[in-house]
Amino acid sequence: MKILVTGGLGFIGSHVVVELQNEGFEVVIIDNLSNSSEDVLKGITAITGKQPLFEKLDLRDKPLVVDFFKKHHDILGVIHFAASKAVGESVDLPLLYYENNLNTLIYILQELQKKEASNIIFSSSCTVYGQADVLPITESAPIKPAESPYGNTKQIGEEIIKDTCKVSSNINAIALRYFNPIGAHESVKIGELPIGTPQNLIPFITQTGMGLREQLSVFGDDYPTEDGTCIRDYIHVVDLAKAHVAALKRLINGDNSGNYEVFNIGTGKGSSVIEVINAFEEVSGQKLNYKIVDKRAGDVIAAFADTTKANNVLGWKSELSLKDALLSAWKWEQEIRK
């Protein structure tokens, strides 16, 4: 039961490795450490009592990918996280994003095509829906033109897998469309490690709470929502990690219907930026210094998941609350600043 986790030292990947090892899977991680540190291995080992195999490798290097699959010919499934993920950076460096997020996927699929049977889980995103016309968002909502090269790589990535599955019945794939992953493992031995200025709300909040940032900017308060701020579906990263295990088991057990499936992974509940700030202030006991600034281009007003398909078909449901996630993120921020 050997599973390859690409990007397994990153934020989501590391939490998935923990859940896989807890469920008895043998894990081999590939990561080039472009957005992570080898120290994450220590955290995973401390939590699970087992050190996963690790190969420092850049998946853009095709011959290395080919050699890796020859060496690890017994890989039963791949969970593919490795990608570049900064939306703003992708606008400035589109080719880096298309190369890193698409070539790596193609090289892996080419190796999986050679195998008698293989399983792959792909990290997609709710950004594929853009501003959906109907909320909550179901998997059948139309895909909207991407707002950034990063978002486009997720749409194209899904298309690449879908087209490959049409001609390769030996490949079984699931694309998971994540809503907004936040939080950290309760042990605070692994969590999110943003390099430079955080791109996402929660690390910005926790860094502001710690005094590392002077002020949080809230982009716009006149959206057509109850308090005027944008609404997102924040999902605890541990719940998200468990969804990967459920999806992988579905493929391994042959329970899938068709060899390409898509699931929304969220909580089903939308929270506004102001609600998140209030919840953070409550769990941390800290007042947060924030100000309302102009809207940002490309921000959708509201996005939250209809999780009926994941609940009924994967047998998975998010269990942890927004406050659980914020408290874990806050504890993690304090831990890494010690």
Of the ranges 25-33, 259-267, 286-294, 327-335, which one interacts with ligand NAD (CB under 6 A)?
25-33
Contact map string, positions 92 to 121, toward ligand NAD, x by CB under 6 A: --------x---x-----------------
Question: Residue 231: in which H helix or E strand, if any?
Answer: strand 231-232
- Tell me the C-alpha distance between 43 and 171, whole Å: 32
Is residue 41 part of the contact set for ligand NAD (CB under 6 A)?
no
Q: Which is nearer to ligand NAD, 12 or 218 (CB)?
A: 12
Place of tokens 């929502």: 225
Q: Residue 241 in contact with residue 283, Cβ under 8 Å?
A: no
Q: Does 10 bind ligand NAD (CB under 6 A)?
A: yes
- Contact between 79 and 244 under an 8 Å Cβ cutoff? The reply is yes
Q: Is 98 helix (H, G, I), strand (E, B) or coil?
A: helix
Q: How far is the CB of 218 from ligand NAD (least distance, A)?
A: 18
Neighbour count for residue 122 (Cβ, 10 Å) = 25
Which listed residue (107, 129, 150, 260) is catalytic? 150
Return the number of the residue (38 or 255) whose C-beta is nearest ligand NAD: 38
CB 328 within 8 A of CB 188: yes
Does 152 contact ligand NAD by CB under 6 A? no
> Which one, of 17, 26, 137, lies nearest residue 79 by Cα?
17
- Under the binding rule (CB under 6 A), the answer on residue 178 touching ligand NAD is yes
What residues between 44 and 63 interact with ligand NAD by CB under 6 A?
Answer: 58-60
Among 19, 31, 239, 333, indicate the residue that binds ligand NAD (CB under 6 A): 31
Chain position whose Cβ is nearest to ligand NAD: 10
| Residue nearer to ligand NAD on the CB measure, 83 or 243 | 83
User: Is the peptide bond preceding residue 136 cis, with omega within 30 degrees of 0?
Assistant: yes
Residue 178 annotated to the active site: no
